[in-house]
Amino acid sequence: MTKKVKTAITPTREEDYPEWYQQVVKAADMAERSPVRGCMVIKPWGYTLWENIQREMDAMFKATGVKNAYFPLFIPLSFLEKEAEHVEGFAKECAVVTHHRLEKGPEGGLVPGGKLTEPLVVRPTSETIIGESFSRWVNSYRDLPLLINQWANVVRWEMRTRIFLRTSEFLWQEGHTAHSTAQEAVTRTRLMLDVYARMAEEFLALPVIRGSKSAAERFPGAVDTQCIEAMMQDRKALQAGTSHFLGQNFAKASNIRFQTTEETEEFAWTTSWGASTRLIGGLIMTHGDDDGLAMPPRVTPVHVVLLPIIHKPEDRQAVMDYCDSLARTLREKMYHQRQMVVEIDDRDIGGARGWEWIKKGVPLRIEIGPRDIAKDALFVARRDKSHRDKTTIARQQFIDQVGPILDEIQVALFQKALSYRETHTHLIDDKGAFYDFFTPRNTTKPEIHGGFALSHWCGNASCEAKIKEDLTVTIRCLPFDAPQEDGRCICCGAPSNSRVVFAKAY
Ligand SMILES: [Zn+2]
- Flag whether pLDDT at 85 surpasses 90: no
- Residue 500 CA to ligand 1 center (angstroms) comes to 12
**How many C-beta atoms surround the C-beta of residue 193 within 10 A?**
24
What is the Å distance from ligand 1's center to 491 Cα? 5
The helix (H) or strand (E) run that includes residue 133 is helix 127-137
Residues 307 and 349: beta-carbon distance below 8 Å: no
CA of 232 to the centre of ligand 1 (A): 27
- 200: CA distance to ligand 1 center in Å? 32
CA quadruple 229, 193, 250, 172: dihedral sign: positive
Measure 490 CA to ligand 1 centroid, in angstroms: 7
pLDDT of residue 1: 46
Q: Please tell me the distance between residue 227's alpha carbon and the centre of ligand 1 in angstroms.
A: 23
Separation between Cα atoms, residue 31 and residue 446, nearest integer Å: 32
Give me the chain's average pLDDT, please: 95
Averaged pLDDT for residues 457-480: 97
> pLDDT band at 2, cuts 50/70/90?
low
What is the CB neighbour count within 10 angstroms for residue 471?
16
* Ligand 1 center from residue 19 Cα (angstroms): 37
Question: Is the model's pLDDT at 441 over the cut of 90?
Answer: no
* Cα 240 to middle of ligand 1, angstroms: 27
Q: How many CA atoms lie within 13 A of 505 on its CB side?
A: 17
The 3-state DSSP class for residue 204 equals coil
Q: What is the mean pLDDT of residues 57-79?
A: 97
pLDDT at 222: 94
Centroid of ligand 1 to alpha carbon of 217 (angstroms): 16
How remote is the CA of residue 212 from the centroid of ligand 1, in Å? 18
Residues 6+ apart with CB under 8 A from 196: 208, 228, 240, 241, 243, 273, 275
Torsion of CA 66, 71, 73, 79, to 10 degrees: -100
330-343 burial: b if 16+ Cβ within 10 Å, else e: beeeebeeeebbbe
| Amino acid 84: pLDDT | 75
The pLDDT of residue 399: 98
Q: What pLDDT sits at residue 210? A: 98
What spacing in Å lies between the alpha carbon of 210 and ligand 1's midpoint?
A: 23
Cα dihedral 271, 277, 283, 286 sign = negative
pLDDT digits (tens, 9 = 90+) for 347-362: 999 889 999 999 999 9
Q: How far apart are CA 181 and CA 412, in angstroms?
A: 43
Provide the percentage of residues in the chain whose pLDDT is more than 90: 90
| 34: Cα within 13 Å, side-chain hemisphere | 14
For the chain, state the CA radius of gyration.
Answer: 26
* Ligand 1 centroid from CA 230, angstroms: 25
For 121-149, what is each residue's pLDDT tens digit?
999 999 999 999 999 999 999 999 999 99
Cβ–Cβ < 8 Å for 116, 99: yes
d(CA 495, ligand 1 centre) in Å: 8
Overall residue count recorded for the chain in this entry: 506
pLDDT of residue 3: 57
Region 467-480 average pLDDT: 97
pLDDT, tens only, 366-395: 999 999 999 999 999 999 999 889 999 999
Interval between CA 474 and ligand 1 midpoint (Å): 14
Q: Average pLDDT, stretch 260-278? A: 97
Q: How far is CA 487 from CA 74, 160, 169, 433, 498, in A?
A: 49, 38, 43, 16, 7
Distance of CA 164 to the CA centre of its chain: 8
Checking if the pLDDT of 446 tops 70, the result is no
What is the whole-number distance in angstroms between the Cα of residue 215 and the centre of ligand 1? Answer: 14
Model confidence at 9: pLDDT above 90: yes
481 CA from centroid of ligand 1 (Å)? 21
pLDDT at 448 > cutoff 80: no
Complete DSSP assignment for 446-501: GGGSSSEEEEE--S-HHHHHHHHHHHS-EEEEEETTPPP--EE-TTT--EESSEEE
Task: Specify the 3-state DSSP secondary structure of 66.
Answer: coil
Cβ count near 45 (within 10 Å): 20
Angle at 368 between CA 366 and CA 374, to 5 degrees: 135
Question: How sure is the predictor about 303, in pLDDT bands with cuts at 50, 70 and 90?
Answer: very high
Exposure string over 147-158, b if 16+ CB within 10 A, otherwise e = bbbbebebbbbb
Distance 473 CA to ligand 1 centre (A): 15
Alpha carbon of 241 to ligand 1 centroid (Å): 28
d(CA 57, CA 36): 29
Q: How far is the CA of 310 from the centre of ligand 1 (A)?
A: 68
Average pLDDT over residues 154-164: 91
CA distances 501 to 119, 282, 437, 470, 505, Å, are 41, 18, 13, 17, 11
